[in-house]
């Protein structure tokens, strides 16, 4: 069975988007439910998702295991998996790691750009690696089956997380810095270490992560994926679009600033473009995954490699990493 999985979206969820998921044949999506929220605020997001599952039971379903992807596929729905882009919902309580897993969360980033209680974000000047709490949190995440995600972390922290984790970790949404040197993209040393331990890399189509930004061509993107496959093995690669469809620009401010700053942090953008950038012409929403599939085939990847990158690899990763050891 060939699956279509997008391992990172943060859209302004609506019936329109859910119907586009179905039109695009998307079997599963890992959705961000928090950036800087505390535990109670995270619970409110779970409540909102429960209402969506109740309102659109023919379009979406809650996902917690790889088998749920199979169920979604068989019943014509999209399985929704929950993740955090920051560890703020566990606050300073290691016991909440098991609780959030019990509530259905399956991915947690150790940082979002800044220093956290667990590790250092990619925007800090000095990456000091995993903290004492961070090392214990990784072990607890391993125990319960909560995947370590380092998408917004510094290189040292990411390498230490790869080494500290007894289970493979993920970079759910980024690209190689040898293709485009965005601060959020990762170098060959990090990606090699990730792949060597069975970790997964999800390629992002968010324009700030792309060579030439919004003007990036499908061919350039797919040639980058093919080169990454030759370096790291196609079996360690997937898609994590970082699609922020229909979000107002005010959401970017929450992502980048949260509660920690009074100043506007333009992050990966510029003072001239503080909001969301325009998407590339070949990927606007969930109906456009076919363009990526065709592009990957056109650059010479085999059918098995393309199927893996489009979703089968994430499905395998889910099956091996969402449960307790």
Q: State the Cα–Cα distance between residues 220 and 227, nearest whole angstrom.
A: 11
- Residue 270, pLDDT > 80, answer no
Position 267 scores a pLDDT of 59
pLDDT value, residue 237: 99
pLDDT computed for residue 272 by the predictor: 45
- SS3 letters for the chain? CCCCEEEEECCCCCHHHHHHHHHCCCCEEEEEEECCCCHHHHHHHHHHHHHHHHHCCCCEEECCCHHHHHHHHHHCCEEEEEEECCCHHHCCCCCHHHHHHHCCEEEEECCCCCCCCCCCECCCCCCCCCCHHHHHHHHHHHHHCCEEECCCECHHHHHHHHHHCCCCCEEEEECECCCCCCCCCECHHHHHHHHHCCCEEEECCCHHHCCCHHHCCHHHHHHHHHHHHHHHCHHHEEECCCECCCCCCHHHHHHHHCCCCCCCCCCCCECCECCCCCCCCCCCCHHHHHHHHHHHHHCCCCHHHHHHHHHHHHHHHHHHHCCCC
How would you class 152 by CB atoms within 10 Å of its CB: exposed for 0-12, middle for 13-18, buried for 19 or more?
Answer: buried
Tell me the two tokens of residue 28: 């599963």
Residue 40 has pLDDT above 50, yes or no: yes
Average pLDDT, the chain: 96
Query: Does 268 have pLDDT greater than 70?
Result: no
Tens-digit pLDDT profile for residues 198-242: 999 999 999 999 999 999 999 999 999 999 999 999 999 999 999
Quick one: pLDDT at residue 271? 42
Which CATH number is 116's domain given? 3.20.20.140
Q: Report how far residue 205's alpha carbon sits from residue 239's, in angstroms, rounded to the nearest whole number.
A: 9
- Would you state the structure tokens that stand for residue 171, as one six-digit string? 């970079």
Tens digits of per-residue pLDDT, 165-205? 999 999 999 999 999 999 999 999 999 999 999 999 999 99
Please check whether residue 225 is in contact with residue 203, taking contact to mean a CB–CB distance below 8 angstroms: yes
Task: Give the model confidence (pLDDT) of 72-102 as tens digits.
Answer: 999 999 999 999 999 999 999 999 999 999 9
CA-angle at 181, arms to 229 and 299, nearest 5°:
30
Q: How many domains does the chain have?
A: 1
Domain range enclosing 35: 5-321
What pLDDT was estimated at residue 1? Answer: 74
pLDDT at 117 over 50: yes
111 in Cβ contact with 136 (< 8 Å): no
Q: Is the pLDDT of residue 36 over 90?
A: yes
For residue 158, pLDDT beyond 90: yes
Predicted pLDDT of residue 266: 61
- How far apart are alpha carbons 129 and 131 in whole angstroms? 6
For position 325, what pLDDT does the model report? 86
Q: So what's the pLDDT on residue 253?
A: 84
Is the pLDDT at 269 greater than 90, yes or no? Answer: no
């Amino acid at each position: 069975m060939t699956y279509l999985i997008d391992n990172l979206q943060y859209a302004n969820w609506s019936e329109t988007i859910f119907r586009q998921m179905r039109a695009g044949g998307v079997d599963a999506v890992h959705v961000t439910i928090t950036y800087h929220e505390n535990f109670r605020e995270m619970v409110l997001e779970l409540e909102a998702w429960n209402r969506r599952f109740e309102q659109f039971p023919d379009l979406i379903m809650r996902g917690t295991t790889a088998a749920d992807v199979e169920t979604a596929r068989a019943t014509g729905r999209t399985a929704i998996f929950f993740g955090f882009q920051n560890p703020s919902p566990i606050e300073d309580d290691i016991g909440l790691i098991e609780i959030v897993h019990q509530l259905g969360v399956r991915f947690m980033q150790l940082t979002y750009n800044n220093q956290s209680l667990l590790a250092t974000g990619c925007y800090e000047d000095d990456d000091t690696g995993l903290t004492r709490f961070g090392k214990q949190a990784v072990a607890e995440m391993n125990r319960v089956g909560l995947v370590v995600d380092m998408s917004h972390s510094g290189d040292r922290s990411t390498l230490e997380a790869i080494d500290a984790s007894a289970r493979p970790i993920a970079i759910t949404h980024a690209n190689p810095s040898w293709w485009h040197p965005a601060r959020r993209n990762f170098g060959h040393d990090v990606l090699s270490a990730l792949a060597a331990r069975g970790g997964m890399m999800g390629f992002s189509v968010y324009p700030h992560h792309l060579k030439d930004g919004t003007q990036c061509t499908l061919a350039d993107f797919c040639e980058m994926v093919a080169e990454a496959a030759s370096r790291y093995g196609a079996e360690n690669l997937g898609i994590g679009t970082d699609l922020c469809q229909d979000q107002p620009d005010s959401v970017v401010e929450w992502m980048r600033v949260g509660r920690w700053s009074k100043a506007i942090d333009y992050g990966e953008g510029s003072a001239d473009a503080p909001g969301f950038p325009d998407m590339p012409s070949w990927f606007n929403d969930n109906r456009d995954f076919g363009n990526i599939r065709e592009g990957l085939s056109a650059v010479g990847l085999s059918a098995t490699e393309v199927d893996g990158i489009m979703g089968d690899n994430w499905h395998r990763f889910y099956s091996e990493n969402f449960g307790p050891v």
